[in-house]
Amino acid sequence: MVGMHEEEPERSAASIVAFCRFARDNGLSIGVQQTLNAVEVAKTIGVGDRQELAFALRAVLTSSKEEWDRFTDLFEIFWSTSQRFSNPASEEGPEVRSRTHHPQASSRALLALSSNEASSSDREGNDVSGASAEQRLQKVDLSDVPHDDLAALERISFRLFRKMSLRLSRKRQIKNLADRVDIRRTIHRSIPRGGDAIDLVFRGKKLRKHRLVIFLDVSGSMNSYSLFLVRFAYALQKYFKSVNTFLFSTNVVEITDVLRNQDLPEALRKLSQRAAGWAGGTKIGESLKVFNQRHGRKLLSRNTVFIILSDGWDTGAPDALAAELGAIRRRAQKLIWLNPLLGLDDYAPITRGMSAALPYLSVFAAAHNLQSLLALERYL
């Protein structure tokens, strides 16, 4: 163990704190309480045995399998060089940094959008373009929104999505009817009447929230559509028990944590960093396979609604796509495919991938403008 052996207690506490900060900067969710715990644990275990310290800190500082998997590397990086030890927060290890490359072409649009949102959010309502413009914008194809209208469309979409989310949750509450007698409360109320249960108290039906999984195609042509569905996902988070969002092209990346951010412009900015380095083609089947392997067991259940947003131009094998969709269909409640091309008058789903997918879908709908996205409400 470099540099830790003959330290005084304060010094080692300081380095534990520094390590906590380093780990937090690299994506582990460590709060003040965890840091305090880490210091306490280091005191209990002692800092002599490096391996044991690693195990102990891992138990304290991680809280999920993902963090667990990353921890050992972070620990090694932090304590492998004594130079870092003396000045740990000033630089990051090369391995960790590669994750946040500068954004590339495909994510530039995200960046642009987020800046739009940021600049326009504070003057909301002042320059609204009026009802007719709103109507027009709702129908315009998301891929050719004039640049000037982008900010307006942003605002409208955000408002409408939010309304929709609210409406959906109200619908749920009305359905929430009583079904069983609550013995506990009934008896409590019977005491003043000498033990005769005159007023029956009913137990309400449990509100069962649904889970939404969104699978977004971000390959070249889909980009402008995807961005609006990201917003859609963001707005729906309040209604669903959880919304898990994944981006895919030839690779799959989960962006759920980014969307959890309270501040949407900030979330989109982070997203633009995450989405860096996307390659051209789309392999839906393979991406779904990765999803099924890594997340399927956890996320798919009878109250999961699974939404795929893609144009169906798949360079992979149709059989593979069908098999994966079948697996999802069996476990999820609904499998919805939104295809922006369906908005075109002369489009028919005859690409090989798309026709292989059709038998497994519960809903196949368009998603080329705001109106079609809002129409989704029917299926949720």
Partner 1 sequence: MMASQARSEDREINDVDTLIQRFEHLGYVTDRGLATAVYLVTKLQKPLLIEGHAGVGKTEVAKVLAAMLQTRLIRLQCYEGLDVNSAVYEWNYQKQLLAIKIEEKTDQTVEEKEKHIFGKEFLLERPLLQSILADDASPVLLIDEIDRADDAFEAFLLELLSDFQITVPELGTIKAKYVPYVILTSNRTRELSDALRRRCFYHWIDYPSFEKEMKIVRARLPVIEEELEVQVVRFVHAVRQLDLTKPPGVTETLDCAQAAMSLGKHRLDVKLVEETLGCVAKSQEDVAKLKAAGIEKMLS
Q: Name the residues that contact partner 1, by CB under 8 A.
A: 29, 31, 33-34, 37, 40-41, 44-45, 51-52, 55-56, 58-60, 62-65, 67-68, 183-184, 187, 190-192, 194-195, 206, 241-242, 293, 297-298, 301
Minimum gap (Å) between residue 64 Cβ and partner 1:
7
Cβ–Cβ under 8 Å, residues 277 and 310: no
- Only one residue has tokens 């991938």, namely 353
**DSSP code at position 220:** G
Task: For residues 48 and 212, give the distance between their C-alpha atoms in angstroms, rounded to a whole number.
Answer: 48
Exposed e or buried b for every residue in 253-288, given b needs 16+ CB within 10 A?
A: bbbbebbeeeebbebbbbbbbbbbebeeebbbbbbb
DSSP string of 272-333, one letter each residue = HHHT-S--S---HHHHHHHHIIIIIHHH-STTEEEEEE------S-HHHHHHHHHHHHHHSS
Q: 279: alpha, beta or left, given left = phi > 0 and alpha = psi -120 to 50?
A: beta
Minimum gap (Å) between residue 36 Cβ and partner 1:
11
For residues 291, 297, 298 and 304, what is the CA-based torsion angle, rounded to 10 degrees? Answer: 80
Decide whether 77 or 299 has the Cβ nearer to partner 1: 299
Task: For residues 366 and 142, give the distance between their C-alpha atoms in angstroms, rounded to a whole number.
Answer: 12
Cβ–Cβ under 8 Å, residues 180 and 156: no
Decide whether 175 or 298 has the Cβ nearer to partner 1: 298
Q: Amino acid identity, residue 288?
A: L
Decide whether 58 or 352 has the Cβ nearer to partner 1: 58
Minimum gap (Å) between residue 284 Cβ and partner 1:
19
Token pair for 349: 């789903």
Decide whether 162 or 189 has the Cβ nearer to partner 1: 189
Minimum gap (Å) between residue 302 Cβ and partner 1:
11
Decide whether 53 or 354 has the Cβ nearer to partner 1: 53
Sheet holding 334-339, edge to edge: 252-254, 242-248, 211-217, 304-309, 334-339, 363-366
Minimum gap (Å) between residue 104 Cβ and partner 1:
30
Decide whether 162 or 185 has the Cβ nearer to partner 1: 185
Which residues, in sequence order, are CB contacts of 308 under 8 Å at separation 6+?
A: 215, 217, 284, 335, 336, 337, 338
Minimum gap (Å) between residue 102 Cβ and partner 1:
30
Nearest to 231 by CA among 342, 379, 324, 117: 117
Decide whether 55 or 364 has the Cβ nearer to partner 1: 55
Minimum gap (Å) between residue 373 Cβ and partner 1:
26
Cβ–Cβ under 8 Å, residues 312 and 340: no
Decide whether 32 or 131 has the Cβ nearer to partner 1: 32
Decide whether 34 or 245 has the Cβ nearer to partner 1: 34
